Structure 1
Amino acid sequence: MAMRTASLKDHTDHLAKAVTFVSVVRAGSLAAAAKQLSVGKSTLSEQLTALEDALGARLLERTSRGLKLTQEGQVFYEGALRCLGAWEEAWAGASEQQGAATGTLRVTAPVGFEYLLAGVLQELSESHPDLRYELSFDDRPLDLVGDGYDLGLRMGAQAASSLSAKKLGECAEVFVASRALPDSVQALERAEWVCHSAFRNAYRNARRVSGEPVALPAPRVRALANTTEGVL
């Protein structure tokens, strides 16, 4: 068998012909391979001839029982199988890696979200066993990018930002008082408030009473706390 060298471009050009060759050997005949590949029998024959010419070796012999590998054909077939197997493994590995999360996920969330995140992180851990977590619970406004966070959970209206944001749900507001509940919006002005420092001004956001928009008066803040637990 004559020795020939080929450039990378040549190998690329002949890869499809090598796949055809493997398909023919597996099928046992040109007719069967042509049916499996949905191409003409003459097309397969031309590709095999071109491959043999490029190699300078005869790969297949036609017999009364079908096709038979030559010695050179057997060597090439085994090498082609290894090559295609490595290709399939590389493809599968890259595809799996694309869907797998690895490394450390840094998350910041308001104080009190520990219990809400527990179930979510448990489910995420089962789906991505190589993922690690670094959690920070803080009610202060943070610079997610500057502080190196991958994900931030926050409540209430957020300032305009170039970051991507998605609404996850809603939190119900409940009025809690040690005295009698106020009977009017004006009565709220006389009430003493315990406010979350991060949302002190948010309490003045417009509300609706009986379907009508109502602007709440500025609260008389008796105490401020920087955590939800502190407010409660």
Structure 2
Amino acid sequence: MESLVELCDLISQNPSQFPEKIAWICSRCPPAESLLSGSPRVSRSQLHAILTVARLLSKCPNSDHETPKSLVLAFYRSIPSLFNPKFWPQAFSSEAISSFFNDFLSYMSKAAEQSPDFASDVAGFTGEIVIQTISNADSCVSRVLLKALCSNFPPILPSDVNKLISVLLDRFEIPVPSSPREVILATPDAASAQSSPLSVNHYQSPGVEVSIISADSSSSAASKDDGSSSRGL
């Protein structure tokens, strides 16, 4: 992997000078057709190659070479099929899968930041990928992916954001308040305030509070007058 990274960084300095090297790295990636048709088990070398291509894309996203983009997008689209443990190489640990997803999503996000066209392509797939990931949260691989998404979340279509929120609310059974009052009453502070006898004046209008204070003052003044009259007698 280290040698591929060094080669990638060399190519990124001037991609137009190394078309053969780019083609060679791309040839070592999982074929896009097989990924989209069911994702057979991949080898470590194929995973290293797709990471290298994603790294190259993050360094020169506006390159004229279209193959790296198509390979990365095909792999990204196939992510839901990666939840099957049989996809990964034998003895590929959860830590290794986590490291792979973190690197892959990091490279993709960097490329999307620099290329609006690539960001648009990525956004077209993100919503469905994340929704399927949440729906398969019982899978160890999907949980690893969710953690990686928290660190590097790719672009997503605005129309898919509402769908994603609905899925999250349904998945975790979060009640949706129908009014602002329900939001206030649902907070712990509001609940404790309602149960306390001292809380009554807290929610009273200023006019009521003033009237209470005035009444107390009047009572106090009356008591003083009575006392003065008694001493006068």
TM-score, scaled relative to structure 1: 0.24
The structure whose Rg is larger is 1
Higher relative contact order (CA 8 A, sep 6+): 2
As a proportion of its length, which structure holds more helix? 2
As a proportion of its length, which structure holds more strand? 1
